[in-house]
Structure 1
Amino acid sequence: MSRTRLLALLVALAAVLVAVWQRAHAVERLGQDFDEATYLPIAFTYAGMLEEGRWADIGKLRENFEHPPLVKLLFAQTVRATGAPEPDWSNVPMGQPIPDAARPVFRATRSLSAVAGVLQVGLVALVDPLGALLLAWDPYHTKYTSQAYLEAVPGLFAVLALLAFERARRHGFAPGWTAVSGALLGLAAAGKYPYGLVGGLTFLPFLVAGARTRWRPWAAIVVSTAAAFLLVNPALWSSPFALLWESITFHWDYSHNEHVRRAALPWYQPLAFLTDTWLSASDPGIYLTHFNARALLPLAVVGLPRTWRERPVWAVGAVVGLVFLLLWNTKWPQYLLLVLPALCVCAGGGVRTLAHGAVRLYRKVQGSRSRVSAGG
């Protein structure tokens, strides 16, 4: 094994270990967050339906209908598998240490998210080990893949979709891998709609440029995406188009409602989140470093040209994701997970670009010194 490959392997291993350590601590130490107070009671409702075989009733549940039920159903199955009892939610304070009575359900459901988060880091390590290390200790990725949020599972499917789409592109968009990437994209959308939207917009320019007027690749990705999305989305089974439209339009209305307007977050708020140490400083016992707040965006900018040459799908994913975050009115910090894996890949390319530049500069200086010495 070459020295370069050995170093890459060691960095990838370090990334996975950091990801496991940081998320394990976050699962245990983070207090209840706002969305957990919505998703976990629904998970127990779904668990009751599943226990009684009432699949048809899943689509009738109107609470939180704006988000598809896939991740909440996974939380429900986790609750059933572990036997975690439902706590008295009125006795689970927001942002405070989890009471002992509620700890089993939080530990079980958060562990599901954490496993998906660690798997994302491991998959990114296949693309860029340095990018995986940046993702491993990123405070936003850690927090929202260590709580019972919707982000971790669709984020995992989105990363898998990018990898499969890269393979499809290398094979000239043969229907097989193209269909696999579409199915994974559909699963990502069935976890949370924006992951499917950002992934689809990332794929689109490559399909336009590479598939052109060939109908098979387009059919493969459209059919597989739609089939996977509907298959794992029982909330839409009774009336797919009407219910999907209702759910999607909710997000548009919500992004313009009083709650969002009252928050008054500026259009550049995602960039402010990425460059602020507020989260990494909030609990030094969980988040290892402020490094990403200081360097992630600059490194991604430096590494974007290199990533475009080496892994163009990830470069486009980073740009599309950032543009989406800047344009979309809802600016909550968990939305950063739409772009963080691709952004970290670009930043890993930035680290390598700077390192190679430093080596070239050093060799140039050494060569100049040698010529001066020889001339003297």
Structure 2
Amino acid sequence: MLILLVALVLRAWAALVLPIDFDEPIYVDAALGYARALRAGDVGEVLNPAHNREHPPLVKLLYAAGAMGLGDAANATSVLYTSRAISVVAGVGAVAAAGWAFGPLAAGLLAIHTLTVKYSAQAYLEALPLLALLLALGAARRPHMGWLVVVGLGVAAASKLTYPLILAPAVLALLGWRQGRTLGLLILAGLVFLGLSPSLWPDPPARIAAMLGFHAAYTQSAAVETANYPWLQPIIWLATSPATTWHPEVFFYPGLDGLIFFFALAGIPLAWREPERRWLVIGLLGGLLILLVWPTKWPQYTLPLVPLVVALADPAIRRLVARLRAWDDYWGWSRVMLPHPPRYAWIAVGLFASFVAGMYIYGMAGVALGSIGWSQIAPASLPLPSGSLNALLVMPDGRMAIAGDGGVAVGQANGPWQALPNPGVGRVQALVRDQGGHLWAGGSDGLAEWDGHRWQTQTGAGRMITALVVDARGQLWVASQRGVRIRTADGRGWQNLDAVGDAVVLSIAMQGEVAWLGGMGQVWRIEAGAVRRFAGAEGFGSAGVSDILVDAHGQVWAATLGDGLAHWDGAAWFWMTPANSGLPSAIVTALGSSGANQLWVGTGRPLEVGGRLARYDGHYWRQYLPRNSGFSGAEPTVIQLGSDRQLWIGTRSGGIERYQP
């Protein structure tokens, strides 16, 4: 029970803290596709999946069941964590199965094996086949449990083909060829595999051939060639603890993977002397040979061999411990060399250690729980050159358009991203989509229109453009550092907004037929030609109004770059500053909303690089910091709710932050 508790804690902690790994979005997207099809009763999508057809479907269908359980809350982030929870359960089950098959010491070694912890805590395909194969190996050593061998091998194959292929030498050596029993078990396991793989049902031979053909072709792919791992890389994965280097924030204990592998090598001659355990040696060496020959050498490919490694390490460790005990009994060195403090000293040390451990666990748990729902899209993952992201725009097809110092791109969180040609307007500051479906980009050198094929520079809009908006009549409002110009809905002409003259205008928001404009220490409200100006008398100082937001209740919020946050309730302005509220800083750089009473505020730091993010629910403020959430601490520049109901936060230096509220 202690070993299972350790396995659960380590995997649950990893599931909470590990960043999104390379293949997780692929499997999550596949699970979401299955879930949508199952809700709609679309059997065709289950039989002919659109995504990730190179792997059997069983694990993805299991993740899809978790997605269906979430109902309307199912999206990329929530399904990711649900799928990770399913993996954790299967991973802990694999540790229990290792205890049943090989004994508690082998289970303990598997529980703390860092590479196994990592991949059985992520939304990968590894945990379920690992559990199934351990059950099959344990059952093969017991009489009258052939049915579990069949089920285990079939489930493993229906989860990921590499597991039965890599462990084929172990399975064949363990089962033997007595009276054709092995052939019968393998045929039945194949039928279980087909029964649990609906994507193969329409044409099993052709689809299995296509699946194997994909993996053969993948060995020559750009990803494999770029990785350029040496031929002995599988041994390196097993003989080291790479996960501790990749994720030091997750693995707070020293990785013992290499030491376990060393004991496994020492256990090979011990196992070979016992005929009933020789299959472990054949399985490990045969599986290693397969991995050494196969060109694709991802670290998770070595996981099928880890059960054999811990099973071989078990007797070597036991023999070493027995030898040390015998020496100690003879020489009595522990009685001479080790201290023997009184009981009260042990109690004091225990209390102090418990206090330190408690504080450490409390801090780490706060970070882990606060990180749930957060993910980042690093600047290197975006097709734009590094620089500030200044605008986000949700497209009709659900994709997000992003703009910044390096141009404009369109894509999804998990890719692919498409960089549009350079609009030729300098640093892009604003994006908007008109009623005709055309995208407009405004920047330091003017305005350009994207018609779906090319950018067309627009004259008459001016330069140094800061904000764009389309009103209810289809007119394009263009704010700049020299006033506002309005393009008529038919596109035939431009007109100046005389109400603001040549004043600097930094932000625009529409409230039905009412336009709100933010300038330097002033705000204009324009309705049916009537203009009302708010300035010093209403509390505005000299700071620029960087953003204006009209919330779900029709209330107007004005962000300023030094005076704090102003709130218009229809009759008067009310001010929030760090002195009278939980506003993190008076330098407010971005505003957004994720629903009623959910105002999101991005702020800058007056004397430091970076920024802060806060949420206001109408009564209380909550700050999101690197120490209590997954927010990186980069300065927010724009906040937008995506079509996936996730908050997208563009930053000045850290790419895009995404959060599931």
Q: What TM-score do you get using the length of structure 2 for normalisation?
A: 0.47
Residues 15-53 of structure 1: per-residue CA shift (max 9 Å, x gap): 212111111111111111111110101111100111123
Amino acid at match of 1:56: G
3-state SS, counterpart of residue 56 of structure 2: coil
Distance 2:14 2:82 in 1: 13
| CA–CA separation in structure 2 for the residues paired with 1:220 and 1:277 | 39
Q: Give per-residue Cα distances to partners, 1:239-284, cap 9 Å, x unaligned.
A: 0111101101111111133321221100111222233344214444
Whole-Å Cα distance in 1 between the matches of residues 253 and 72 of structure 2?
Answer: 33
Structure 1 SS opposite 2:269: helix
The question of 1:47 aligning with 2:35 is answered yes
* Paired amino acid for 2:105: L
Secondary structure of the 1:181 match is helix
Residue 22 of structure 2 is aligned to residue 34 of structure 1: yes
Residue in structure 1 matched with residue 7 of structure 2 by the alignment: 19
- Could you tell me which amino acid in structure 2 is paired with residue 142 of structure 1? V
Q: Which runs of 5+ in 1 are unaligned?
A: 1-12, 90-101, 367-376
Residue 73 of structure 2: SS of its match in structure 1?
coil
Q: What does 1:160-175 align with in structure 2 at a 5 Å threshold?
A: 160-167=135-142, 171=143
CA contact (8 A) 2:129 2:160 kept: yes
Q: Return the alpha-carbon distance in structure 1 between the equivalents of residues 45 and 184 of structure 2.
A: 32
**Do residues 128 (structure 1) and 103 (structure 2) align?**
yes
Secondary structure of 1:68's counterpart equals: coil
Could you report, residue by residue, the CA deviation over 1:291-326 in whole angstroms, capped at 9, with x for unpaired residues? Answer: 424412211111223345364444433333322222
Residues 35/291 of structure 1: CA separation in 2 closer, same or farther (3 Å cut): closer
Q: Which residue of 1 aligns with 2:157?
A: 189
Report if the CA contact (8 A) 2:55-2:161 is conserved. yes
CA distance in 1, matches of 2:224, 2:319: 39
1:298 is aligned to 2:286: no
Q: 1: CA distance between counterparts of 2:45 and 2:25?
A: 22
Shift of 1:138: 1.4
Asked which structure has the greater RCO (Cα within 8 Å, sep 6+), the reply is 1
Matched, 1:343 2:309: yes
The CA deviation string for residues 192-251 of structure 1, in whole angstroms up to 9 with x for no partner, is 00112133332223444x51xx23x14431321111000000011000111101101111
Higher strand share: 2
Cα contact 2:173–2:283 (8 A) shared by 1: no
Query: Are the structure 2 counterparts of residues 288 and 244 from structure 1 closer, same or farther at C-alpha, using a change threshold of 3 Å?
Result: same
Pair 1:276–1:177, CA change in 2 (3 A): closer
Q: Report the Cα distance in structure 2 between the residues aligned to 1:71 and 1:278, rounded to whole angstroms.
A: 25
Percent identity of paired positions between Structure 1 and Structure 2: 33
What does 1:139-288 align with in structure 2 at a 5 Å threshold? 139-167=114-142, 171=143, 177-208=145-176, 210-211=177-178, 214-215=179-180, 217-288=181-252
Query: Is 1:109 aligned with 2:83?
Result: yes
Equivalent position of 1:3 in the other structure: none
The aligned residue for residue 481 of structure 2 is none
TM-score, structure 1 normalization: 0.81
Say which is worse superposed, 309-318 or 319-328, in terms of deviation: 309-318
Question: Post-superposition shift, 1:360?
Answer: 4.3
| Further displaced range: 282-291 or 111-120 | 282-291
Structure 1 residue 81 corresponds to structure 2 residue 49? no
CA RMSD of aligned residues (A): 2.2
Q: Give 1:327 deviation, angstroms.
A: 2.1
Structure 1 contact 116–145 (Cα < 8 Å) conserved: yes
Q: Which stretches in structure 2 are left out of the alignment for 5+ residues?
A: 333-661
Q: Which amino acid aligns with 2:92?
A: V
Task: Give the letter for the 1:336 counterpart.
Answer: T
May I ask how many residue pairs the two structures share in their alignment?
329
Q: Is this contact kept in 2: 1:140–1:336, CA < 8 A?
A: no
Deviation, structure 1 residue 84: 6.3
Describe the superposition over 1:91-129 as per-residue Cα deviations: whole angstroms up to 9, x where unpaired.
xxxxxxxxxxx2x32221100000110111112123132
Q: Distance in 1 between matches of 2:113 and 2:173?
A: 29
Which has the larger helix fraction? 1
Q: State the shift of 1:338 in Å.
A: 1.2
Within 2, Cα distance between the matches of 1:294 and 1:40?
32
SS of the residue 2:141 aligns to: helix
